[in-house]
């Protein structure tokens, strides 16, 4: 890997009517921040707010209507989140929240707006050039037991963090597929209309597959370099005929074959209720290389360790591509790690230029970070300094 890029730091966070926080202002001075508290105290809400300061729907993938603070019997309130960041070039401010109603009456709780240094953000790409975050949540522990669709979303999030245009390709593919499914379910066999939709599915589907294939190759190269330290070596494998075909022949040929397969399978797909071929059929596997085992056959602790490996490698990829290390948001990450792995994680975080936010219910798990991390206690609607984690001398 090239020389270590500088990190991105969040130094101040302000929330208004976001989830469980009516009004919060917090400052962060250290590169490692530990937030502990009981279940329901708002620890995950805090990380979600930070994740929403970048493009996308955040670590929960929540809808806008779910984010505003709720009062009994009333609709969710308009919400806002703002952060001050520092990088190698100075500081900048990012704000997001409920979009104000337009003169035509649009806006409100179903739309979201962003501002960068108090000016409207023109595109997600503009924001992605400044802010990046990667995260690990307890929900991701089920990644290897749930359906392939969950693993595809995980994979596409990894791709999108490096290639913001990937989200548009996925959306265009899924939109064309939904229209084709609807036409077939209604028995409408307009050949020209179906042909146009299948052409869009072929073009966007192959672009999606190519981006996934590129991400896997880059991620595996970083994992092979051992950047994840004491965590197990891993390999990400794609289970995808389109990705396999792209390794053997040009993209245009793969597009043409997919287009022909979709046209030939209209009757079959009408009966099945969906397309039997395409980018939506992809899956991924994570292999524990020392044991040569797929993740679904590993223990819970090993699965968590494999995900930590992927997150650390992905952060290194972002740092290389963007020129700055992203924020690391690690929710309850220590819960299923044994003591040696926890200490290995803490050592890896201390060595990285990235700012890391860690949450947990048991502050004792983070004891090795005393003197290296700044600590807070989450309480409903508030965040208080934790006396057990005084500000480290070298923040």
- Which residues sit in the known binding site? 37-44
CA 316 to chain centre: 15
According to DSSP, the β-strands at 90-99 and 108-116 are antiparallel
Question: Within a 13 Å sphere around the CA of 91, how many CA atoms are in the beta-carbon half?
Answer: 8
User: Which residues are CB-contacts of 186 (< 8 A; sequence separation ≥ 6)?
Assistant: none
Contact assessment for residue 18 and residue 78, using Cβ atoms and an 8 Å cutoff: no
Residues annotated in a binding site for ATP: 37-44
Q: Which residues are paired to 113 by β-bridges?
A: 97
User: Which residues are CB-contacts of 196 (< 8 A; sequence separation ≥ 6)?
Assistant: none
Rounded Cα distance, 387 and 34, in Å: 12
According to DSSP, the β-strands at 32-36 and 356-360 are parallel
Residue 280 tokens, joined = 């939506």
Rounded Cα distance, 244 and 99, in Å: 43
Please tell me what DSSP assigns to residue 232. Answer: P
The SS3 of residue 77 is: coil
According to DSSP, the β-strands at 32-36 and 374-379 are parallel
Rounded Cα distance, 294 and 392, in Å: 40
Rounded Cα distance, 308 and 311, in Å: 5
């Amino acid at each position: 890997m090239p020389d270590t890029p500088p990190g991105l730091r969040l130094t101040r966070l302000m929330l208004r009517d976001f989830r469980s926080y009516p009004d919060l202002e917090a400052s962060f001075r250290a590169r490692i921040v530990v937030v502990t508290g009981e279940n329901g105290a708002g620890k995950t809400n805090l990380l979600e707010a930070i994740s929403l300061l970048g493009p996308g729907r955040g670590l929960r993938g929540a809808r806008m209507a779910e984010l505003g603070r709720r009062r009994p019997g009333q609709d969710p309130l308009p919400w806002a989140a703002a952060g001050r960041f520092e990088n190698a070039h100075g500081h900048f401010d990012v704000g997001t929240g409920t979009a104000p109603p337009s003169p035509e009456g649009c806006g409100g709780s179903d739309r979201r707006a962003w501002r960068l240094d108090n000016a409207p953000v023109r595109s997600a790409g503009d924001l992605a050039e400044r802010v990046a975050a990667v995260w690990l949540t307890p929900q991701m522990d089920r990644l290897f037991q749930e359906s392939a669709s969950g693993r595809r979303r995980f994979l596409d999030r990894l791709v999108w963090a490096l290639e913001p245009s990937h989200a548009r390709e996925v959306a265009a593919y899924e939109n064309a597929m939904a229209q084709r499914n609807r036409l077939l379910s209604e028995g409408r066999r307009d050949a020209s209309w179906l042909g146009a939709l299948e052409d869009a599915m072929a073009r966007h589907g192959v672009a999606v597959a190519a981006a996934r294939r590129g991400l896997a190759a880059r991620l595996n190269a970083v994992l092979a370099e051992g950047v994840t330290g004491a965590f197990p070596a891993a390999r990400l494998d794609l289970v995808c005929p389109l990705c396999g075909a792209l390794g053997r022949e040009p993209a245009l040929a793969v597009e043409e074959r997919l287009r022909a397969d979709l046209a030939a399978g209209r009757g079959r797909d009408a009966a099945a209720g969906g397309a039997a071929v395409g980018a939506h059929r992809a899956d991924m596997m994570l292999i524990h290389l020392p044991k040569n085992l797929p993740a679904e056959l590993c223990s819970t602790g090993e699965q968590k360790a494999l995900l930590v490996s992927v997150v650390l490698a992905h952060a290194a990829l972002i740092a290389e591509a963007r020129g700055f290390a992203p924020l690391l948001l690690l929710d309850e990450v220590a819960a299923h790690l044994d003591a040696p792995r926890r200490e290995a994680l803490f050592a890896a975080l201390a060595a990285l230029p990235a700012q890391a936010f860690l949450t947990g219910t048991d502050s004792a798990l983070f004891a090795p970070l005393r003197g290296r991390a700044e600590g807070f206690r989450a309480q409903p609607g508030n965040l208080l300094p934790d006396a057990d984690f005084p500000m480290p001398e070298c923040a």
